[in-house]
A and B are shown apart, each in its own frame.
Chain A
Amino acid sequence: GIQVEQSPPDLILQEGANSTLRCNFSDSVNNLQWFHQNPWGQLINLFYIPSGTKQNGRLSATTVATERYSLLYISSSQTTDSGVYFCAVSPTSGGYQKVTFGIGTKLQVIP
């Protein structure tokens, strides 16, 4: 099946700092999403971004489908950004109905 790798696995930031999270995937995809899992375990959809660039406030994401990676940018980080960020994909060919998650990047923003 498709492989999803996220980096870094852990990240500690000072409040106000910027960061870039990376997601590499092993096959072409028709669905790529970024999620934030908050400390209560809820999965919050950040972006649906199989290709291109999107921005939502302090967050933005870019997917370069031809090179099989996606980046999530967090600017001016806040303590409420803490949690785990997951990249999730479904391949273009076969098994398209299920989404495969990466292991996540655990972000801690300290005041």
Chain B
Amino acid sequence: EPEVTQTPSHQVTQMGQEVILRCVPISNHLYFYWYRQILGQKVEFLVSFYNNEISEKSEIFDDQFSVERPDGSNFTLKIRSTKLEDSAMYFCASSEWRDGYTFGSGTRLTVV
């Protein structure tokens, strides 16, 4: 069964540093997403991406966040200057249209 692949599985970074989280969506999917889950809390929507541009974003997705599809397979989330409160599990997902989403296994980001 096709999978969404995320790397790394765990990243530790110092406060103020930039991090890039990487995802390889399912190859024939057209919609890509990032979600995050702070420990013990709900899974929250960050951003959706379609046709090489952001189609929707939440209030969480402020200027320190950016997304990019640098080539035909990767989808990245960049956090420019990490804060302690950015520590969370970040999930990438993809879908063909308004149907089932496939989530990756997540990247646990720890900001120290």
**Chain A interface (Cβ within 8 Å of chain B)?**
30-31, 33, 35, 41-43, 45, 48, 86, 88, 90, 95-104
Contact = CB atoms under 8 A, between A and B. Distances in A.
Interface residues of B, number: 25
B56 A98 contact: yes
Interface of B: 31, 33, 35, 37, 42-45, 48, 50, 55-56, 58, 89, 91, 93, 98-103, 105-106, 108
Contacts of B31: 97
A30 B103 contact: no
B47 to A, nearest CB: 9
Nearest to A48: B100
A74 B99 CA distance: 24
A31 B48 contact: no
A41 B106 contact: yes
Given A97-B48, A98-B58, A43 B106 contact: yes
Contacts of A88: 43, 101
Nearest to B100: A48
B103 A45 contact: yes
A88 B100 CA distance: 10
